[in-house]
Structure 1
């Protein structure tokens, strides 16, 4: 019995560790889905499902392990080491939730790695736009539907207006971002719509640089509004500290144009 438990725990642990590392380093969901990102031939959903299924399996086997080894475990729980282990667990949990160092550095490293992927530089006009139908997608981005249809036909893309970009991409053995590249406007694309995706994770200085905002002017506007901030803070952190949303901050910053 214990041999089976040990073997199941070992293999489940291997899968959970590998899938956990992949989920830790993979691009953000909006990027992974829109660009059709894959690792070892498996997409984001595949890795997530692996992690969840084997996580559940590990819980089942762990409960089984506790039942089989309950007597020695009961003995361990009465020792002082049990108190120390519980305290360490509580400290790590509280530190992680509170976002304090050194636990925050783990999240910061994750963010850095996710943003370092080449696909993370891909223009994502709308978060999870791949789930919108072609008609709805064009409507959201103010792209004339007839022009989009014409461009797709010129490229030999097979599609229906009521199909999502994800479905169109799969049918044509490509990715949603490639479909967007075909149908998007060139120079007239509304830049404010681009800000819908992932803007909250951008630092204020990075946001200004990327969108050609004058940082000094932005700083004056934010101070005039009584908003506390640092150029190294993300828009999400600035918004949270001032009881606002990232969208509120963006709307204020647009005045700095």
Structure 2
């Protein structure tokens, strides 16, 4: 009977989670099942980091000598430089347009936001009241969310539900 080996577990987890994160990353890039895949990709991405740490711990002795190789150092530098370029480039672009639109809808006067969402004021008030949302006469969706310790997304979901 084979004995359970920590190294085998760490390597198996790292490999399998890498495959799922890699495939889901490609799916996100090409916008295939975007909504369904995003959460899976994010959560497994976190688990992948943990699996890699386990893999490094389990294989520390052979990894130490690998980290000293010139090729590892060169590739590491290339990855750091490319990552820095992407990070600094995206930081210089300015505000995220989606974020600006969302913030505008959340912070705008409630009647303006409802018009953008295609919902009439009385219908929105009724839906919010049915869900036990307080302060439905607030100035904005953001104010309603704050008054109820809720996410603005939750308020928008209630308002736009059929």
Matching residue of 1:19: 24
| Higher RCO (Cα < 8 Å, 6 or more apart) | 1
The root-mean-square deviation of aligned C-alpha atoms, in Å, is 3.9
Unaligned 5+ runs, structure 2 = 91-100, 130-135, 137-143, 145-154
CA deviation digits over 1:5-55, x for unaligned, max 9? 2321222123312332344344xxxxxxxxxxx93xx73xx5443222211
Alignment of 1:178-217 (within 5 A): none
Matching residue of 1:65: 55
Unaligned 5+ runs, structure 1 = 27-37, 101-125, 173-257
Q: By how many angstroms is 1:149 displaced?
A: 4.5
Please point out which of 72, 92, 100 is paired with 1:82.
72
Q: Is the 8 A contact 1:9 1:62 kept in 2?
A: yes
TM-score by length of 1: 0.37
Q: By how many angstroms is 1:128 displaced?
A: 5.7
Query: Whose helix proportion is higher, 1 or 2?
Result: 2
Q: In 2 relative to 1, CA 98–128 (structure 1 residues): closer, same or farther, beyond 3 Å?
A: closer
TM-score by length of 2: 0.54
Q: How many residues matched?
A: 122
Q: By how many angstroms is 1:127 displaced?
A: 2.1
Q: By how many angstroms is 1:85 displaced?
A: 1.9
Please point out which of 99, 102, 105 is paired with 1:127.
102
